[in-house]
Amino acid sequence: MPYGIKTADFNTEEHNIMKKFIRILTLALIATLCIGAFAGCGKTPTVDTIRKEGKIVMLTNAAFPPFEYVDGSDIVGVDVDIAREIAADLGVELEIQNMEFDGIVGAVQSGKGAIGVAGMSINEERLQSVDFSVEYVKSKLVVLVSSDNTEITTPDALTGKSIAVQTGTTSDVFASDIKDATISRYKSFLDAASALNSGKVDAVIVDEMTAAEILSANAILVQLADPLTEERYAIAIQKGNKTLLDAVNTTLNRLISEGKIDEYIYNHTAAGTEAEG
């Protein structure tokens, strides 16, 4: 029966392909396990290792004025000023790494940088991965809308609307809980603001100080009077890195008691920049 023979041949061929496929899959699995074995060895940037290397690495996302933003070709801001003080107190250089905001907690966790200073609010999820310093700024989440928007006048009206936020921020967490809202997650608040500016979304949820910066550059946007939640900014440090946490807290407490942080904020907000120029 020729038909039967043909089927048998076909089966062996298929069988061979399957065997080869399984072999490749097994090898790929082994390779993955090898990578996994590597992954265990993250490092801990203690005060000692930082002093030995002569530099402290600050992880941030330079799209969050006035806390961190690009001025000309340099990354500056309130957080950068604070980090400089921390570096000076430790007697080391400051190195700034500008990365995606949603990667900062993970990078602090694996010791890629010593401190995550990015206007980062303390929240439950982050506390499970990293430790936080003392709070150095209190802020609020606010809502920005287009000035001709008559529909959204209170935060309650956000239900069912389209909202732009930055990925992985507390705004993202907050917006995700709004009923029936469509969330657009952008790589930065400034991208979110652009989307609002061009009418792609109905509203942006953002921290109040960044909102002020966005408003000063975009005349057609307004801020709702009622804030959403309280935010408390702190510096993220690898879990259990006690020596560094103490060093950072010492510097922060000094800056807070000297009134330096308010001074930094004034210097980096529109008011301060205008007074300068």
Partner 1 sequence: MTFFSDILARFYRTLIVKDRWLLLLRGLRVTLIIAAVSLVIGVALGVIVAVVKVAHSQKPKSAALKILNAVCSVYINVIRGTPMVVQLMIMYFVVFASSSNGVAVAILAFGINSGAYVAEIMRAGILAVDRGQTEAGRSLGLSSFQTMKEIVLPQAIKNILPALCNEFITLLKETSVAGYIAVEDLTKAGDMIRYSTYDAFVPLVVVALIYLVMVLGLTKIVGIFERRLARSDNR
Residues that bind partner 1 (CB under 8 A): 23-24, 27-28, 31, 35-36, 38-39, 41-43, 57, 59, 62-63, 69-73, 97-100, 103, 106-107, 110-113, 187-188, 190-191, 193-194, 217-218
State the Cα angle at 276 between 273 and 277, rounded to 5°: 90
Measured from the CB of residue 12, what is the shortest distance to partner 1 in angstroms? 19
Which of 107, 135, 164 has its CA nearest to residue 248?
Answer: 135
Considering beta carbons, is residue 6 or 19 the nearer one to partner 1?
19
Where helices occur in 115-154 by DSSP H, the ranges are 124-129
| Nearer to partner 1 among residue 67 and residue 228 (C-beta) | 67
Q: What tokens does 277 get? A: 């120029």
Instruction: Identify each DSSP E strand in the chain by its residue range.
Output: 55-60, 69-71, 74-76, 93-98, 115-116, 130-132, 137-146, 162-166, 182-186, 203-207, 221-223, 230-233, 236-238
Q: Cβ of residue 127: shortest distance to partner 1, in angstroms?
A: 20
CB of 18 to partner 1, least distance (A): 15
Closest CB to partner 1 among 36 and 240?
Answer: 36
Q: How far is the CB of 189 from partner 1 (least distance, A)?
A: 9
Q: One-letter amino acid identity for 11?
A: N
CB-side exposure of 183: number of CA atoms within 13 Å?
Answer: 18
Closest approach, Cβ 6 to partner 1, in A, equals 27
Nearer to partner 1, 135 or 191 (CB): 191
> Which of residues 69 and 136 has its CB atom nearest to partner 1 in the complex?
69
